[in-house]
Structures are given as structure tokens and as C-alpha cells.
Structure 1
Amino acid sequence: MDKPLKTPPPYPIASVDHALRAATMLQLEGGATVSQVAERLGVARSTAHRILGMLVYRDFAVQDDDRTYRAGPVLELAAHSRSLVSRLRPAALPHLRRTVDVLDETVNLIVRAGDTARFIASVESAQTLRVGSREGMVFPAHRTTAGLLLLAELTDEELEEVYAPERYRDRPGERPDLPQLRTELKRLRRAGFAVNRERSERGLVAVGVTVRDAAGTAVAGLSVSMPGVRYDPHRLQSLVAVLEAAARALEADLAEQP
């Protein structure tokens, strides 16, 4: 089994976490007001204002004349990526919340960028023992359910390009075994869903399905994450069915967008 990549710090610092989450919002979604940041972080407007002020000072953000904060020079991102995320996230959130209501586990929306998978939305379960929000976090794509499903959409040539040896010259140990990965992706294409048992984080199990646009192109993955002690393999098919229903509903909403 692959060694888990990320373990939550034993002494998390809330102020740092809030600043990082705010920076991620600006990078992925194109802009936000103080009120919007305060609501998303669950903090007072005065706290959100101080966080954004520090991000501006360090060039992680800029403030427009209309008082909207946007990603600064440090966080510049390709316009098409912002556009995709800005459409996906608001459309997905109602479906994520409904899925949490049904499954009572944390649900995520993930996109792929090269060999990485980025969590662009996360709605937590209300249970005391739960998987926390992964919003803004980035993992190697081949270690996440959604990342694997999105990699499975690639041709052999495209997969070779993503994992070209020269891209890993300084980190050869992070390059997956391609023949083994191809075998796994072939299996996932047949199954239509993916299961991650402690592959990205110790003690975590995730199940994921694909979200497609009107043309049938896979644009994101929808996953449910839970503590491993609560995962029951006998519930797998029901978990997949609930996720598939949410994915199809999200796809219908995306199809109606201009």
C-alpha cells in the first residue's frame, strides 16, 4: 500500500488556516468581498478584513476599486482554470450539501491539473468523528479517487505526457509506475467509480465518481470521504448510487448554464 501523503497537524493554527483558505478562494474563484470571505470562513467581518489586508501586503491579493479582493501576483492562475472552477463550484455546492444530508459523511468536488488533483469544494459531515474539509488542498492525482477517475479519461499518449520522466527529474520517487497505473485505470474505466483506502491519508476511505460536461468530457470528480473505521464495503454500491445521482443532477445544472 502506498504511504499516506498528508496527516493533519497535531496543533493546527486557525489564523494560518483561514489565511490559506482565503488565498485559495481568490486564486480559484477570481474574487471575493470581505463579507463573502467572512461567511465562507465562519469568522467576523473584522477578522476577514485583517486576513485580506495581510494577503494584500504580501502580494497574495489585490483590492479593486469596488472593494473586491482578487488574486495577487503570487497567486496568478490561468484564466480558463478560474472560469472552470467559478462555474463548477457554485453549481456543485447545493448537490454536495444534499449528498452530505443523505450520507452524513464529508463530500468533495475535485478537478485535475496535470498530475495533481485539487479540492475546489468540500462540505463536512456533522458527525463528531469526521473527515475535515479538504477545500484548497492539492494531492498527486494518482493517489485520489477523483484524480484516478480523471486520469482514466486520458489516452495512453496523454498519460505518457502527464508523467513524462523529465517532469520528475528532481523528484523521481514521486513518479508512479506507469504499467501498473494503466492497469488500474483500465479497471476503473470498467467500474465507473474509484475507492481510495488510505492511499492519500492515513485512516481515510473515499469513494468517487466522475462529473461530465454537456459534451461528455470529464471535468471533475465527486467523492465522499469517511474515517476508515466507519467504512462498510457492503455499502459500496449504495454509496456509488448516491454519488452518481448527485453527479447527474450537477451535470444537468451545468448543461443549463450559458
Structure 2
Amino acid sequence: MTSEESPSRSASNALRLVLMLAERGRLRVMTVAEELGVAPSTAHRLLTTLLQSGLAAQHEDRSYVQGPAFVRLRLAPSHPEALLAIAVPHMTKLSAVTGETTHLMIRQDATVRFLHSIEGPAALRVASRTGVVMPAHLTSGGKALLATMTDDAIRDLYAGGIPDSPTGRIKTIDDLFEELAQVRKRGYAENMGQSEPGISAVGVALRRNGVQAAISVSVPSTRYQRGRSKELVSVLTTTAAAIQAQP
């Protein structure tokens, strides 16, 4: 028995693989083989073990994403990380369908924290924002989340005024209320270069097991036209509904 095939080495590689899948959301056999320093056949066997246990699921492009059993590793169903485990496979599919970068975020006071991003496959794409914190009123997902709140709660949240931004068009609380009224009417929020020049996005809010979150699709503005927003919103709302409905 080689060291690669020894029980201790196999267990160590399996744990490393689980951590890799947790951090990245999507893996391929050759990537696993290279990073673990094992043969492709061994990488495939390890991934198959995760697949059989429900920790991994295979995407239609033959990559591996987090499976439903990942939830059992989380603290509680109401914890944001539990939502992340459910959302990542759906986000991966959304990214593949749209060809663009997808994000999952939660609101923290007047900001949003990006829990995870799946980058689109194109050479020109929006980069991952995993772990980034941004003003809620500048992002599509943030505005979608703010739109779920009452006007009184929003006034309390922005009692000190709207944080100034050179790229933001929302300067006053009245500007924000006007924007959120449109979000509620449409059912989705838009960001046209407000969080970052050259980037446009659409976002919708969702709720699962008490966790309020939002998902968004970010697009280089050169690929974003008004007509395309309907296409993106359609698949985005379908994805949000699937995340909310998954057992």
C-alpha cells in the first residue's frame, strides 16, 4: 500500500477536499488532483465518496458543487452558512445559464456582506466579492433587502443620513424611498454603476429558515442593455424561488 492509499492519507485528503469545496463552491477532478498531489483516479474516487454521502453534487458540466448534506455541517438551519450551503449549487447553475457572476449577500445594518460569489466563465467578467462589505443602498442586492423593510425602520437605519458616495445617485432619504418604491413595484433592484463604475447588476431578496438574504447577477456594463434585464430577472427570480423551496 502506497502512502497515497494509506487510510490516514486518504482521510486527510478527504477532509482537505471538503474544505476546498466549502471555500470554492465548485471543483473539477484535475484541480483536485493537482492541489492534493494525487492521481486523477484518486481525485475522482474522493469526489465520488463525497457524492455518495451527499456532501457533493455533480453539475451538468461534470464539475462538483456542494451537496445538500453540507447543511448538516453548519451550526443551524437559521444560520447564514446553512443558507450558503443550499444556495451555492443554484448560484453555480445561475452563473452557467447567464454566463455572468452571481452573488449571495445578507444585510448588516446599512451595509451588505457578500457571503459568496460564483464568477462567470467569460474572460471579461465581474470579480468575486466574497467577504466584501459594501453600503446597502449602492448594490442591487442591498436595495432589494432594504425594500423588504418598513419606512419607519429605514428612517431609523439612516437617521444619520445617507452615506455619501461619488458613484451613488441616492443622496437623501427621499431619494432612497423613491428608489425602493420602484424596487417594490418591479420586484427586483438594479445597480447601474453605483457600487463600481462599469458594473451593472440586478438583485432580488429571498428568505429561508428565517434568514433574509439577496442574490444578484453582476454584468460588465458593456454587456448590459435594458432588454437584457428581463432575461436576467427571469432566471434570477426562478433561482431565488428554488433556493427558498428546497427541502
Tell me if both proteins adopt one fold, taking TM over 0.5 as the criterion.
Answer: yes
Please give the secondary structure, in 1, of the residue aligned with 2:125.
coil
> 1 CA distance for matches of 2:242 and 2:217?
16
Please give the secondary structure, in 1, of the residue aligned with 2:156.
helix
Which has the higher Rg, Structure 1 or Structure 2?
2
> 2 CA distance for matches of 1:117 and 1:82?
20
The offset of 1:91, in angstroms, is: 0.4
The offset of 1:213, in angstroms, is: 3.0
Please give the secondary structure, in 2, of the residue aligned with 1:100.
helix
The offset of 1:133, in angstroms, is: 0.7
- The question of 1:117 aligning with 2:129 is answered no
> 2 CA distance for matches of 1:213 and 1:82?
9
Q: Residue 245 of structure 2: which of 243, 246, 252 is its match?
A: 252
| AA aligned opposite 2:140 | T
Structure 1 unaligned runs (5+)? 1-32, 47-79
Provide closer, same or farther for how the CA distance between residues 131 and 211 of structure 1 changes in structure 2, counting only shifts above 3 A: same
| AA aligned opposite 2:230 | Q
Which aligned segments of 4 or more residues in structure 1 are displaced greater than 2 angstroms?
33-46, 80-84, 171-176
Q: Residue 207 of structure 2: which of 203, 212, 215 is its match?
A: 212
- Kindly report which structure 2 residues correspond to 1:1-258, keeping only aligned pairs within 5 A, or say none: 35-39=17-21, 40=23, 44=35, 83-165=78-160, 173=164, 176-213=171-208, 219-253=212-246, 256=247
Structure 2 unaligned runs (5+)? 1-14, 25-30, 38-74
The offset of 1:184, in angstroms, is: 0.9
> 2 CA distance for matches of 1:152 and 1:115?
12
The offset of 1:180, in angstroms, is: 1.1
Q: CA RMSD in A?
A: 2.9
| AA aligned opposite 2:191 | N
Count of matched residue pairs: 184
% identical equivalent positions: 36
What TM-score results when the alignment is normalised by the length of structure 2?
0.67
Q: Alpha-carbon deviations, 1:169-223, whole Å to 9, x = none?
A: xx96469410111111111111101111110011101111121236xx7711110
